[in-house]
Structure 1
Amino acid sequence: MRESRFDELIHAPVRLRICGLLRPVDRLDFAVLRDTLGVSDATLSKHVKTLNSVGYVASSKAASLERLDARRVTWLSLTPEGRSAFDAHVRALQEIAGPTE
């Protein structure tokens, strides 16, 4: 079985939800993530910066084909390290919760 590891950095509620939303996708638009979480730009930016500082989340900017203006979209994704840390954290939570049946 793969290693489980409780991760204090991921466990903060907003950061846990960020990782959970990014886990099944290649990348997600900052605005979509913000709206899904129901947080402000500043709140999401703060949590993304924390996750980025340890190498769990990567961000990139790119032009959007849907936009008529020159603004660029910020895309967020879990790094391989972030995916591994999130998966290990989920396993640790499952161990804490115990069997569900």
Structure 2
Amino acid sequence: MPGDGVVAGAGFNELMHHPSRLAVLAFLSGCIEADFALVRDRCELSDSALSKIAKTLEEAGYTDVRKGRAGRKARTWLALTPEGGNALAAHLDALQAVAAAARSAAEHEADPNRQAG
């Protein structure tokens, strides 16, 4: 029935709902910019998985991908955009609201003094 249960509200972002994309965005939220290899290792992803995630997030405007050189080696750096930071914050707020609603519903159900309605 509409209005019953726990529903994700405004700010919930399906693109960020995927655990690996959320992990990458959360990691980047603590950095100005991060080397591809560091993000890959810290988020426990393969090169191909992170490449796909980076492309998806860049296309959404949530990350910037910069390619260059560090000495003789080609490097790729990832950074969270302001839009990505705002979207991440809204998504995390929506997830917290879902969790709070679920806790509240569970407490209500567990309360022996509640009135049947």
Q: TM-score, normalised by structure 2?
A: 0.74
Matched, 1:82 2:88: no
Root-mean-square deviation over aligned CA pairs: 1.5
Pairs within 5 Å for 1:57-96: 57-64=63-70, 67=71, 70-96=72-98
Identical pairs, percent: 42
Structure 1 partner of 2:55? 49
State the number of aligned residues: 93
- What is the CA-CA distance between 1:61 and the residue it aligns to? 1.7
**Counterpart code for 2:82:** P
Pick the structure with greater CA Rg.
2
The runs of 4+ residues in structure 1 deviating greater than 2 Å are: none
**Which residues of structure 1 form unaligned runs of 5+?**
none
**Which residues of structure 2 form unaligned runs of 5+?**
1-9, 104-117
Quick one: higher RCO (CA 8 Å, sep 6+), 1 or 2?
1
**Counterpart code for 1:72:** A
Distance 1:38 1:25 in 2: 17
